[in-house]
Structure 1
């Protein structure tokens, strides 16, 4: 049901927009988008992309207008055109099938996801069974499971899943999806350690720096907010987690893709609204939301203090050589 957009309320005190930082694009997303753009420059249109390059319709549509064609499976790609694999990673069978067809392909898998893939391979080589903490059906989970032999990895989604496990201790290890809730994952990890004292723990945190940083930024501003708007796609795991973080701190939160999705009745007339964006949401959408709110309220923008992110990932050599 459409909501009524409020008229400007000049009689009310200014609405404080507390804008989380960091927010929006991470280095892996930025790299993946650049890969598609460079592939279009190098090979010309069309360039095929298997699955959404990142989980954001605005980004996907812009690349589509530039000449990218998004497909679900490799058999939709003609033999004479290049294909890009999404930032979420793909099972080993996908590049193998591309090589069998002599397809030109570029892998845009986030390097932090690739790191998890390599960890999984090493653990299997050691003879361990992997307990993988993640969300069923997510492309990153499917890609990671596709790195190892079938049956050598078990998906764990909740603490309750840990309680239901009937596996011998001694040859187990765990890994995690990179875009999970930091707090939820910590609870599951503690449950795994308690049940399996000998379980192999990763040498470093699998949840990516951008996911952790964006959740911490929401926590830092939530106590001052009466509402939280999270800009991101409904199929974006890290964006969904940001809304959950706010809700757990008793701040009503809504996940929106564009300014047109703002529920003005739900927003009401608060004194402070928090704004953040998932790692696949471009800053232009953040500005769009701020401008929409500014059109109806006397707004005072405030950027939260933060430590800048300086992570940059190298581009594939075949596109920059």
Structure 2
């Protein structure tokens, strides 16, 4: 006889509008121009999505010099995380045709940073070193114009560049609570520091963290579907544990669930990072149904209706129902 298990399924979860748009751009480019379509860096941080696009004819590269000379006329797509200004400049120097899939909310942070600089401020970027979004945001401004701040300790140690005002922006996928602590530390240290004109952490990050906070208290285990290099997914694991889950775990597929280690659980929290498709959430629920008598409870804290249009040059291409199922993560 199967043991009873309540799954608290979070909403919103999974794909956000920026991820949906980025995947759609690659699929539309493949339909309009044919394979190969080159993609600089993972279009989003999810192996299932990357492999699905590879099967359709996308070729993933890290740098533009990997594109063979005979494929110079093929499109190259820049990932949703954004790129430094040097990347489109390099593409133009190589006479490459590129499509920018940068999330509009990341582009907004770029503009916030550039506005700070235009007003004569040294920019403090709250974020994680080495993350593609951070590299892209820092690359919007000249070398030395941006200082990265990762922790409250960094904020308290920071020395103001002589004679300069300060302004801050943040990576879009951070922990809301951690970021608030860093901002408080910066404002305590530098009372005249200027905030961006609008919130930098994106709506999808905030919404997914709020839903996890709702579902976490009393959960024996909290699974987050996401990749180990996905910042927003890793933050969800941290949020779950801080909000009362006994244990949080990041998995990419049901095959990664450590069945021998999960113990005698009765309540499971389940959510997915913004680049994780719904089909994997379904796969995980089905895997638990095979082993437990499952009851699903919904923990819904918001309803998302955002939609970001694709590049104008791709708007004349129509997607089939199968294409749309892949784009929205249900296939």
Q: Does 1:115 align with 2:105?
A: no
Structure 2: unaligned runs, 5 residues or longer: 317-331
Query: Which of these residues, 282, 285, 289, is aligned with residue 290 of structure 1?
Result: 285
Question: Which residue pairs with 1:91 in the alignment?
Answer: 84
- Tell me how far 1:119 sits from its aligned partner: 1.2
C-alpha distance in 2 between matches for 1:164 and 1:304: 40
> Contact (CA 8 Å) 1:48, 1:81: kept in 2 or not?
yes
- Tell me how far 1:302 sits from its aligned partner: 1.7
> Contact (CA 8 Å) 1:169, 1:196: kept in 2 or not?
no
- Tell me how far 1:293 sits from its aligned partner: 0.8
> Contact (CA 8 Å) 2:210, 2:301: kept in 1 or not?
no
SS of 2:196's partner is coil
RMSD: 1.1
- Tell me how far 1:77 sits from its aligned partner: 1.6
C-alpha distance in 2 between matches for 1:160 and 1:57: 34
Question: Which residue pairs with 1:6 in the alignment?
Answer: none
C-alpha distance in 1 between matches for 2:266 and 2:112: 47
Question: Which residue pairs with 2:307 in the alignment?
Answer: 312
Question: Which residue pairs with 2:328 in the alignment?
Answer: none
> Contact (CA 8 Å) 1:50, 1:74: kept in 2 or not?
yes
> Contact (CA 8 Å) 1:169, 1:197: kept in 2 or not?
no
Displacement over 4 Å in runs of 4+: none
TM, length-normalised to structure 2:
0.92
SS of 2:13's partner is coil
Deviation string, structure 1 residues 30-82 (Cα, Å, up to 9, x no partner): 00000000000111000000000000000000000000000000111231211
- Tell me how far 1:224 sits from its aligned partner: 3.5
- Tell me how far 1:223 sits from its aligned partner: 1.0
- Range moving further from structure 2, 130-139 or 267-276: 267-276
Question: Which residue pairs with 1:162 in the alignment?
Answer: 155
Query: Which of these residues, 213, 226, 231, is aligned with residue 232 of structure 1?
Result: 226
Q: Does 1:203 align with 2:193?
A: no
TM, length-normalised to structure 1:
0.95
C-alpha distance in 2 between matches for 1:73 and 1:305: 40
- Range moving further from structure 2, 224-233 or 263-272: 263-272
Question: Which residue pairs with 1:52 in the alignment?
Answer: 42
C-alpha distance in 1 between matches for 2:235 and 2:28: 31
Query: Which of these residues, 294, 300, 306, is aligned with residue 299 of structure 1?
Result: 294
> Contact (CA 8 Å) 2:112, 2:197: kept in 1 or not?
no
- Range moving further from structure 2, 19-28 or 259-268: 259-268
C-alpha distance in 2 between matches for 1:103 and 1:43: 14
- Tell me how far 1:169 sits from its aligned partner: 7.6
C-alpha distance in 1 between matches for 2:34 and 2:190: 53
Q: Does 1:129 align with 2:128?
A: no
SS of 2:236's partner is helix
> Contact (CA 8 Å) 1:129, 1:172: kept in 2 or not?
yes
Structure 1: unaligned runs, 5 residues or longer: 1-8
- Tell me how far 1:225 sits from its aligned partner: 1.3
- Range moving further from structure 2, 78-87 or 176-185: 78-87
Query: Which of these residues, 164, 167, 178, is aligned with residue 184 of structure 1?
Result: 178
Question: Which residue pairs with 1:67 in the alignment?
Answer: 57
SS of 1:199's partner is coil
- Tell me how far 1:170 sits from its aligned partner: 5.9
Question: Which residue pairs with 2:252 in the alignment?
Answer: 257
> Contact (CA 8 Å) 2:122, 2:164: kept in 1 or not?
no
Query: Which of these residues, 249, 266, 269, is aligned with residue 264 of structure 2?
Result: 269
Count, aligned residues: 311
Question: Which residue pairs with 1:17 in the alignment?
Answer: 7
C-alpha distance in 2 between matches for 1:169 and 1:59: 47
